[in-house]
Amino acid sequence: MADIRPFRAFRPRAEVAARVASPPYDVLNSEEARIMAADEPFSFLHVVKAEIDLPEADRSDAEKVYACSAANLQQLIADGVLVQDDKPALYIYRLQMGEHTQFGMAVGCSVDEYVTGAIKKHEFTRRDKEDDRARHMEVLGVNAGPVLFTHRPVAELSETVARLTAGAPDTEFTADDGIGHAIWVVDGADDIASLQKSFAGIDALYVADGHHRTASAHRVRDIYRDRNDKHTGDEAYNHFLAVIFPEDELQLQGYHRVVQDLNGLSSEEYMAKVRDLFDVTETTDPGPAGHRQWGMFLDGQWYNIKARPGTFPADDPVRGLDAAILQELLLEPVLGIGDPRKDSRIDFIGGSRGFGELERRCGEDMKVAFAFAPASVSQIMAVADADAVMPPKSTWFEPKLRSGLLVRSLND
């Protein structure tokens, strides 16, 4: 079962929500965040990337950054920019990107279900990133940004959400990037009970995006529990903020690769090796038509390269994925990219930046680019169900949730 809990969210006043809501902390680097928030004191970037407000000499001092984050959050609350709801509620979060619309439930999810495996993951986490998010969460005493979960569709749940969103949302705006965001507050006891009953019938939730924040919530729960001599298991810190979307509403884009050089090969030598391994055709369309094929950009020309049957284990839920196939057939043996998590010669570009970004990077600091078809949610679930992990940088969800629209206290 999925144990979801209502909570009293801190939310921006409707008239300033567009000014507060910010991209997630891990989508922008510090300089991009500094530019974006420079003229906007209400931006939640001042909370999730507070190094932008510190002198250069202090930006690498993590404890000073966390303290600044906490102070900035409290200032937004003191100034009435963020206001805590009077009653515990569940929240429906709608995202709109072009013709695509998806509805998710913002809830408190159970740390215990993450521990037992009822919340399933598909990525490794890095200890340093866990350390950072856990300490940020501990110092601020809130879940500052939601994680993105998914589940297999439940007709009854979809019908309830449709009914609850028939009226006008409590908050609605379109961000500068054209993506629409809307929040409905669900605080009626009967509606909350109905939603909890529907989620109780769901066998598993899946982490779609936010593995480090989820793992960090587990660590912070343990810290808070160990400090509390009267721990019962019902305290707010036993749950963490997630927005849960049904599988059939999520949208993924390709997560592309660019490589700095050809590992000592000339372009002609490299292309000869590629033709030995793949079916290759020149094209003017960068986007691969399906899985197990890629767009490849080299020396101003796009190619479609397609893996040949028998060159990869098609039935393996991990090694049969596009990222694993390209890594095993080409990136490692030909281009010398042994560990894409650590090799400085490879970089990754989210699908929202477009194929033009691949061409730009090849004209600037990279030699060859690979455009990927989007992974599917069913592939992610299959990997998680097998208790395995996706290859690094395999999934790029779009549109993305904004931080600051819903802030969940660990103490209330």
The model's pLDDT over 194-240, given as tens digits with 9 standing for 90+, comes to 999 999 999 999 999 999 999 999 999 999 999 999 999 999 999 99
Taking only the tens place, the pLDDT of each residue in 129-142 is 999 999 999 999 99
Is residue 150 very low, low, confident or very high in pLDDT (cuts 50, 70, 90)?
A: very high
Answer whether residue 1 shows pLDDT above 90: no
Q: Span 258-274, mean pLDDT? A: 98
Is residue 392 very low, low, confident or very high in pLDDT (cuts 50, 70, 90)?
A: confident
- Mapping DSSP to helix (H, G, I), strand (E, B) and coil, where does residue 211 land? helix
Q: What is the dihedral of CA 332, 338, 342, 345, to 10 degrees?
A: -50
Q: Span 363-386, mean pLDDT? A: 96
Give the architecture-level CATH label for domain 255-373. Answer: 2-Layer Sandwich (3.30)
Q: Span 116-129, mean pLDDT? A: 93
Is residue 297 within 8 Å of residue 358, measured between CB atoms?
yes
CA distances from 150 to 112, 153, 254, 377, 387 (A): 18, 9, 19, 9, 16
- Mapping DSSP to helix (H, G, I), strand (E, B) and coil, where does residue 161 land? helix
Q: Say what the pLDDT of residue 310 is.
A: 96
Q: Where are the domains of the chain?
A: 4-250+398-409, 255-373
Is residue 342 very low, low, confident or very high in pLDDT (cuts 50, 70, 90)?
A: confident
Task: Classify residue 121 by burial, with Cβ atoms within 10 Å: 0-12, 13-18, 19+.
Answer: buried
CA distances from 138 to 19, 89, 194, 209 (A): 26, 23, 32, 21
Structural element, H or E, at residue 213: helix 211-227
Q: Say what the pLDDT of residue 53 is.
A: 97
For the chain, what percent of residues have pLDDT higher than 90?
Answer: 95
How many whole angstroms separate alpha carbon 20 and alpha carbon 74? 14
How many whole angstroms separate alpha carbon 173 and alpha carbon 253? 23
CB atoms within 10 A of CB 251: 17
Q: Span 161-177, mean pLDDT? A: 97
Identity of the amino acid at 376: S
Q: Say what the pLDDT of residue 7 is.
A: 98
Q: Say what the pLDDT of residue 341 is.
A: 85
Q: Say what the pLDDT of residue 27 is.
A: 85
Mean of per-residue pLDDT scores for the chain: 96
